[in-house]
Structure 1
Amino acid sequence: MLVLSRKETQRIRVGDSVVVTIVKVSGDKVRVGIEAPSDMLVLRDELEPWATADAAAPPLLTTDVAVNVA
């Protein structure tokens, strides 16, 4: 595992098509923005079990999930 330290507004590039931006740091929480191709599934780790439990079940959307429109 690669572990990096970043400050607000700094970015991390993953491959040619994914950019992770540190949007805000507040106490013990970090708000992260992820730019990825629309055909790439980006999912919080706690939502992953739906894929193994029932492949037909849609992922859950919450208010902190934004759709990539790029």
Structure 2
Amino acid sequence: MTTDVTLYIGLAPYHAKYRFSDLNVWEGVRAQIITAMDAGRGTIEIERKGDRTVYVYSPFLPVSWVEAGV
């Protein structure tokens, strides 16, 4: 199953932008985001091109996403 999600972390114009086309990968990242938001802190790990980027979530780190074709 596929999807089309664009994730933004941080403030524009310096935000990080990630695209997800695999629903399972997106759901894994989304679950981390929701867990961190509910707790008010936590980490969000995103793997891309063999690298792993880790963000430390806090209420001061803007996180948003756009789901196309829902």
**What's the TM-score once normalised by structure 1's chain length?**
0.26
As a proportion of its length, which structure holds more helix? 2
Bigger relative CO (Cα 8 Å, ≥ 6 apart):
2
Q: Which has the larger radius of gyration?
A: 1
Give the structure with the larger strand fraction: 2
Q: TM-score, normalised by structure 2?
A: 0.26
